[in-house]
Amino acid sequence: MNSKAKILITDDEKIVRESLLHWFQEDGYFVETAASGEEALAKFEKGKFDLVLTDMKMPGLNGLELLKKIKEIDETCIVILITAFASVPSAIKALKDGAYDYVTKPIDPDELAHLVEKAIKGQSLEKENLLLKESLDEIIRPDNLIGESMQMKKIFELIQTVSPNDTTVMIRGESGTGKELVAKAIHINSKRKYFPIVTVNCGALSESILESELFGHEKGAFTGAHYKRKGKFEMADGGTIFLDEIGSVSPKMQVELLRVIESKQFMRVGGNDNISSNFRVISATNDDLEKLVKEGKFREDLFYRLNVFSIHIPPLRERRSDIPILAYYFLNKLSKAMNKQITKISEEAMNFISKYDWPGNVRELENAIERAVVIGKGDEILVEHLPFHHNIIDEPESKKLSAIEKRHILKILLENNWNISRCADLLDIDRVTLYNKIEKYELKKYKTQ
């Protein structure tokens, strides 16, 4: 029994009030009484009560009217009505207006005690569930989306502003800055948070595979389609679809995407039935989409449809004050995961980390700290534990053409996760030439595994 639960008993008959008062006090409740609806309302406005027991028929403010006023003040309060003349219409009216239940006179003490106990236990469970849900909301946060720089504080403000709405969002920034983390932050702070966020890497898939991935396919739609399969848009029903690397989508798929985003309807590959899905769209790109629109490589109408609300994530080199915070965040996380006692980063190593430009941004920083934790022996990370003596240019200030070329090629490789075809296109050279340059400058792709 909850001895702290507070009950307010309202009845114009003194004998009923006093009987109920003694019954519930003996059961360990805190109990107050009122002789009228007006007195009960005055007491309710002054203090918090978990449950109100009130007579249905009283002079002045009757039980149903008191019920309505109590619910206006505190919707969570339990109200049980007492009546000598129970009728179906009055019972239905009471329950519609928010009453928990009603009992008839003469009152059975055991029956009423059981009803009150059940009601208060249910109320307590609801409160616990609400607190649990709120605590889960606090725990579930994107992993690496941290920082105290003015740029990051601005991003947090933008996330807070756009999350509650269903506005379409485009997240822009270099590779490795955390665009997917921002998308997840928007989703988990939105009304769609209890539905999935479905991620599609548009740049990693060919046109035909991307079409099947987004829209799904029917059995026998193409060679190898042995089963019917749902697409990502269908999976995102009620939630969010995150279209990463949207700038790499082909012209044909751009037309399809525009139609689906506007209508929220599509057909599976090889199918004839229209499928509806209620999803929110968040996209991301590290491409200059305005330039692609001018060149005719990206549809202007799709660009404006996706770019309703834009969030730009600055590269790590433009928010250097966040580098030590991120470095220690990754150190603590990875040390625990590997069961190591590395708790510090040496002053020399931190100075090195803070001055480095991080072309691969947060992702590259995490990989560097992970490598350092793997090979570290003592309780702190030293400069020699960092991977840069393999990858960084020996003469960073050199004005020689070869040093400048080496730096530029390495930057492009890191920004594009060593995608040789994409890097060759960006550098305007063929793949063979790029491989020769990598060999010439002894550039190595760093792997943590």
HEC letters along 80-95: EEEECCCCHHHHHHHH
Do residues 387 and 368 lie in contact, with contact meaning Cβ atoms separated by under 8 Å?
A: yes
> Once rounded to an integer, what is the mean pLDDT over residues 235-252?
93
Helices assigned H by DSSP within 163-299? 179-188, 207-215, 232-235, 251-263, 289-294
Select from 281, 208, 202 the least CA-distant residue to 246.
202
Q: What integer pLDDT is reported at residue 6 of this predicted model?
A: 92
**Nearest-5° Cα angle at 77, 75 to 83:** 110
Q: Does residue 183 register a pLDDT over 90?
A: yes
What share of the chain has pLDDT > 70, as a percent? 90
Q: Does residue 137 register a pLDDT over 70?
A: no
CA 76 and chain centroid, separation: 28
Q: Does residue 395 register a pLDDT over 70?
A: no
Do residues 63 and 99 lie in contact, with contact meaning Cβ atoms separated by under 8 Å?
A: no
Q: Does residue 289 register a pLDDT over 70?
A: yes
> Once rounded to an integer, what is the mean pLDDT over residues 205-216?
87
Query: 168 vs 185, 240, 248, 281, CA distance in Å?
Result: 14, 10, 19, 5
Which positions ≥6 away from 70 have C-beta within 8 Å? 41, 44, 52, 77, 79
Q: What integer pLDDT is reported at residue 102 of this predicted model?
A: 85
- Highest-confidence segment of 14-28, 212-226, 388-402: 14-28
Q: What integer pLDDT is reported at residue 135 of this predicted model?
A: 52
Q: What integer pLDDT is reported at residue 445 of this predicted model?
A: 63
Domains and CATH numbers, the chain: 6-136 (3.40.50.2300), 150-314 (3.40.50.300), 317-440 (1.10.8.60)
Whether the ω angle into residue 109 lies within 30 degrees of 0, i.e. cis, is no
Q: What is the pLDDT of residues 83-127, one digit of tens each?
A: 876 565 666 777 777 888 888 888 888 888 999 999 988 888 887
Higher pLDDT, 449 or 2: 2
Q: What is the mean pLDDT of the chain?
A: 86
Helices assigned H by DSSP within 189-313? 207-215, 232-235, 251-263, 289-294, 300-306
Select from 184, 194, 189, 188 the least CA-distant residue to 282.
184
Amino acid letter for position 71: K
Report how far residue 436's alpha carbon sits from residue 417's, in angstroms, rounded to the nearest whole number.
Answer: 18
pLDDT band at 1 (very low <50, low <70, confident <90, very high): very low
Higher pLDDT, 84 or 326: 326
83-99 burial: b if 16+ Cβ within 10 Å, else e = beeeeeebbeebeeeeb
| pTM across the whole model | 0.58
> Once rounded to an integer, what is the mean pLDDT over residues 401-409?
84
Q: What integer pLDDT is reported at residue 280 of this predicted model?
A: 96
pLDDT band at 407 (very low <50, low <70, confident <90, very high): confident
Question: For 99-103, 222-226, 317-321, 339-343, which range has the lowest pLDDT when averaged over its residues?
Answer: 222-226
> Once rounded to an integer, what is the mean pLDDT over residues 120-144?
65
End-to-end CA distance of the chain: 57
List the structure tokens of 372: 């350092």
Do residues 116 and 7 lie in contact, with contact meaning Cβ atoms separated by under 8 Å?
A: yes
> Once rounded to an integer, what is the mean pLDDT over residues 355-372?
90
Higher pLDDT, 387 or 23: 23
Q: What integer pLDDT is reported at residue 94 of this predicted model?
A: 75
DSSP character string of 337-398: HTT----EE-HHHHHHHHHS--TTHHHHHHHHHHHHHHH--SSEE-GGGSTHHHHS-S-TT-
Residue 168, judged by CB atoms within 10 A of its CB (0-12, 13-18, 19+), counts as middle
Q: Does residue 133 register a pLDDT over 70?
A: no
